[in-house]
């Protein structure tokens, strides 16, 4: 048997090994004949001889298999060494108009996606507010009438409902028209002091134009504690806008009506485009309306299970698209959902 094993080890190429295997283990191979020969032996010798012949066959087959594996991996290594093919290098790019990727031996950076501008600004706002001690709450996009309207001090016959054209669902629920219902959900779930932001998607049955979308993003803010005042609101908003618009901002409050706040305000910033001198963007007023806000209405605190005699709060509702438009100088809200990759790709390149 040692001779056979030596023969196997001496096979230096796959065809040689095939030949040795055929000679030893083929139909009329030496080892095969040895096994067959057992049958011709006297009966009493057969068990012993049979066992030994089988062991030999198994050992020879194992030696052939092991040698084949060695030869195959040596052949693969030789193949790889003979070319400059590097299986770990990034893919090749076809020349424009060519179907042959191999023609252009230019390693390329594989294309990666970019974050959507709304996501970029939303994430920055989340970072900013969490650094100011706010936590981040989420709520359902399908809401009940109670959370979306009633609990926010907007009863069934209230004219404010008309300003929020609602997508109603067959079961009487609705697609939330703003992120404000999460104010109530938060108050019901946690005890004050509360400091939360709620970024989220909202829906209104709007006809779409350069500044209106049926699907849009807001970021609600809510602070409830003992002794919270308008001064806290102004300070928080100023800090936030300074960071997000990346400049020192002036803010001003104008009275604004929202049933869930009292008093309610429209908060303006000095125009980022002309710095307040007056231009077409700010309609020559020097100010741009940026977000509505106010002191939480006592009825809303009550609906959330909080005693308005003990606690006060402020809230704000930021239109994320609006902030993004001001930040990047975008003049048409439809670009955000339009799916034009040329528009979206730019945000991968803009230094953040």
Q: Which residues bind ligand DAH (CB under 6 A)?
A: 178, 180, 220, 258, 261, 264, 292-294, 315-317
Instruction: Give the nearer residue to ligand DAH in terms of CB position, either 11 or 300.
Output: 300
- List residues bridging with 292 in a β-sheet: 266
How far, in Å, are 148, 151, 185, 310 from residue 156 at the CA level? 11, 11, 20, 28
d(CA 39, CA 227): 104
If one counts every other C-beta atom within 10 angstroms of the C-beta of residue 205, the result is: 12
Name the minimum Å distance from CB 233 to ligand DAH: 9
Note whether 153 and 266 are within 8 A (CB): no
Residue 92 Cβ vs ligand DAH, minimum distance, rounded to whole Å: 50
Cβ neighbourhood burial of 307 (10 Å; 0-12, 13-18, 19+): exposed
Instruction: Kindly state the smallest distance separating residue 329's Cβ from ligand DAH, in Å.
Output: 24
Residue least distant from ligand DAH (Cβ)? 317
Question: Which of 60/318 has CB closer to ligand DAH?
Answer: 318
CB nearer to ligand DAH: pick between 30 and 230:
230
User: How large is the greatest C-alpha to C-alpha distance in the chain, in angstroms?
Assistant: 117
The answer to whether 222 and 181 are in contact (CB under 8 A) is no
- For ligand DAH, which is the closer residue by CB, 117 or 221? 221
| Nearer Cβ to ligand DAH (79/165) | 165
Q: Nearest distance from residue 115's CB to ligand DAH, in Å?
A: 25
Smaller CB distance to ligand DAH: residue 117 or 294?
294
Q: Tell the smallest beta-carbon distance from residue 274 to ligand DAH (Å).
A: 26
Give min distance, CB of 93 to ligand DAH, in A.
46
- Per the CB < 8 A criterion, the answer to whether 219 and 318 are in contact is yes
Q: Decide the pairing of beta strands 194-203 and 135-136.
A: parallel
């Amino acid at each position: 048997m040692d001779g056979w094993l030596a023969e196997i080890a001496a096979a230096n190429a796959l065809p040689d090994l095939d030949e040795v295997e055929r000679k030893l283990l083929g139909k009329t191979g030496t080892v095969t004949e040895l096994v067959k020969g057992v049958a011709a032996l006297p009966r009493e010798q057969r068990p012993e001889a049979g066992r030994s012949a089988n062991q030999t066959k198994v050992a020879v087959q194992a030696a052939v298999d092991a040698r084949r594996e060695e030869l195959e991996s040596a052949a693969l290594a030789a193949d790889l060494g003979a070319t400059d093919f590097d299986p770990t290098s990034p893919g090749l790019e076809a020349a424009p108009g060519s179907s042959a990727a191999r023609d252009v031996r230019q390693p390329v950076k594989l294309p990666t996606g970019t974050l959507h501008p709304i996501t970029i600004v939303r994430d920055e706002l989340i970072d900013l507010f969490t650094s100011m001690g706010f936590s981040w709450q989420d709520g359902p996009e399908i809401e009940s009438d109670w959370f979306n309207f009633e609990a926010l001090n907007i009863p069934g016959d209230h004219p404010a409902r008309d300003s929020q054209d609602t997508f109603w669902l067959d079961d009487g629920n609705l697609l939330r028209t703003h992120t404000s219902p999460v104010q109530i959900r938060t108050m019901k779930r946690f005890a004050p002091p509360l400091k939360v932001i709620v970024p989220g998607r909202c829906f209104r049955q709007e006809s779409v134009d350069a500044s209106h979308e049926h699907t849009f993003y807001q970021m609600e803010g809510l602070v409830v504690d003992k002794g919270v005042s308008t001064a806290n609101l102004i300070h928080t908003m100023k800090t936030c806008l300074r960071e997000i618009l990346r400049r020192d901002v002036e803010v001003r409050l104008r009275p604004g009506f929202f049933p869930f706040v009292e008093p309610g305000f429209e908060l303006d910033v000095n125009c980022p485009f002309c710095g307040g001198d007056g231009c077409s963007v700010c309609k020559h007023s020097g100010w741009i309306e940026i977000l509505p806000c106010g002191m939480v209405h006592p009825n809303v605190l009550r609906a959330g299970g909080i005693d308005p005699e003990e606690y006060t709060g402020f809230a704000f509702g930021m239109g994320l698209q609006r902030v993004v438009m001001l930040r990047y100088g975008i003049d048409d809200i439809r670009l955000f959902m339009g799916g034009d990759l040329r528009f979206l790709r730019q945000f991968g390149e803009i230094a953040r």
